[in-house]
Structure 1
Amino acid sequence: MVDEPSLSRATLASILGVAVERLPEAPLAGRVHDHWRLQPKPGGPALMVRIPKLSHLGLSPRAALIYEAQAFRRGEPSGSTPRLHGLLRVGRRLPWGGLVVDAIDGRPPHLPDDLPALGRALAGVHGLPVPVPARRRPLLDPMDPVGYLLQVARGQLDPIRDTLTASVRRLLETEMAAAAATADQSRPAPRLTLADTHPGNFRIRLDGTAVMLDVERPVYDSPAVDLAHASLPTSLNWDPAVTGTAQRSDIIGFHNAWTTAMPRPVVDTVRPHILAYRRLIWLRTTTWACAWAARTDVAAALASSKPDVADQARRLARFADPAMMEAAREQWSGPKAFTAEELVP
């Protein structure tokens, strides 16, 4: 749900040392960040001031700020993420600090037309050189990424397992067991991945290229993480600003656009893991939605007078619906499942 802004316009202007008129009346307020568009000079390029409010990774404010700054710095050479221009220190007025990055002018994606642009943008990130292990810190670099994703999903599921219907609990446990069967395989070749790549996190610029906006929790893992998150049903239907829909052929086209833009040796390392990661990322997302439903008065949220609250409640309730779960499973299990070669030829 969307919270109130974390600080006033006047306070932020004072911290930045700019006239208050250079900031809008209010930010674009979100659950994790407030976003203030800053116009430093009349007619000049605009910047975006990101004011964090929490850490998805459970980090301290200073550690979270360092992590997010490194995320932007490492993604910048790809051209697929905003440039970082500066940091605002953690302090009394900014408990989580802040970041100043490029303001990206563009529109939300329209499906399926813009999916190939998303694939090419991700290829720009996944094609970046990978540092030696000692230089990957502070970003997450799990030696057992499958086990790590399973741990996240289990951590969300276990506290609310007894609140689920028998059919939902059985379905999730079946998928958890199938995912765990892949945990003993060798580690997928790690690349820089952005890990939150649903289509609503991108903007399409006038030239048709895509830029990812929120770069706050990347991890060194298989690119299959991002390819799954960008194209699963739970992601395609997540952001109401994203219009249109995507069919099977469109999801294949998205993957093929990524494949065409990537060096063949990298493609060959991703193909063996592409279906397993669709299951893993679906489990991560769906257990999160189930946990939300278990700790929320869903009826009250659906009836909320705040449009953003009611809309998010509708989407999350749908993710926890057994029918949608079954539709998602068909992508990697059963006669309608994708093949790895189909997605990553």
Structure 2
Amino acid sequence: MSVNPLEALPIDELRRRSSTKWRKYPDDVLPLFVAETDFAPAPAITDRLRRAVELGDTGYTPPDPGIRDAYAAFAKRRFGWDVDPAHVRTTCDVMMGVVEILRSVTRPGDRVVVTPPVYPPFFECIPEAGAVVERVPLVDTGAGWKLDLPGIEASLAGGARAVLLCNPHNPTGTVHSKEELAQLADLAAAHDAVVVSDEIHGPLVQPDVAFTPFLAASSTAARIGYAVTSASKAYNLAGLKCALMVTAAEGTARVVRALPDEVEWRTGLFGALAGVAAFSPESDAWLDGLLARLDENRRLLADLLTEHLPGARYRVPGAGFLAWVDLSDFGWGDNPARTILRDAKVALHFGPLFGEEGKGHVRINFGCDPAVLRQAVERIGRLARS
């Protein structure tokens, strides 16, 4: 059954927003950098937050705001994954959850594997937890990207104590297969290590792609894994501050339960209320409409790049609203987004922030109106021809 895609808000209305996307740069810049989207919130979220404001319901987050049960039902409905609400705990945001878990499962100086190019805060949250980043880049197969399992095994054999996974992967939009994830779990278990999986983009996997939450990949993954997720990326709720730490075994659940109470106190009440509404069946049609729009936009971007930047290399992502584009052939240096910002007035995410593998690359946010995406690529195309 076809789904009507969401329509983005008019750009004049978007410029009234006070978030980073619309305040970092002047109005003559098209902002396609930070991971915020340009759509009106799901109606259930708007209604829930409006009621809270009208009630003055702006106090502390209660011990059980309902989001654990809401997420468990969502995971079952959307992913076919059985989550025990008793194995879910909340905190402020995904990176805070990652830091607190890593603090608990590593010792100062332990090495944690990351798979660049990868979300830039990974390089900061590991040192914040007292550990050291160990880079094992994704393997470029020519058709896509996959985990370098032999490389990860070598790191674990050499003493790395954890793998910080991005599933689905940011910035490439890669959705790791169940088989890869199960093999990763086996490698970690063989070396008495753990896997912490950032799954914030999980709700944004396209319907034609199979998404496997890490903890659902195998019984071993359930035993040695931790997942951290949120409604914030799919439903554009980053400012409301609520993330979920999920486990699937008693041993890992004990680790999360032992985290200081303050970790949970950092959960934003509005984030929890909005998350309950986002994960409710009421918001499923909205999410389906978003996925339909993102599907159209990810394919439109491929056509636009072919037309206006034929030297660009881009693979249509399987998840999310972020595109990883190689612009190395245009002579704009290691960080082409700087030149594009200055001369084309389009703000893209700086590729080198994602690791050495990001040199010559940009990340483009296509969670916007198709007309905005078209205008942005046309501007960059004119720069390339100048």
TM-score of the superposition, structure 1-length normalised? Answer: 0.24
TM-score of the superposition, structure 2-length normalised? Answer: 0.23
Q: Which has the higher contact order (CA 8 A, sep 6+)?
A: 2
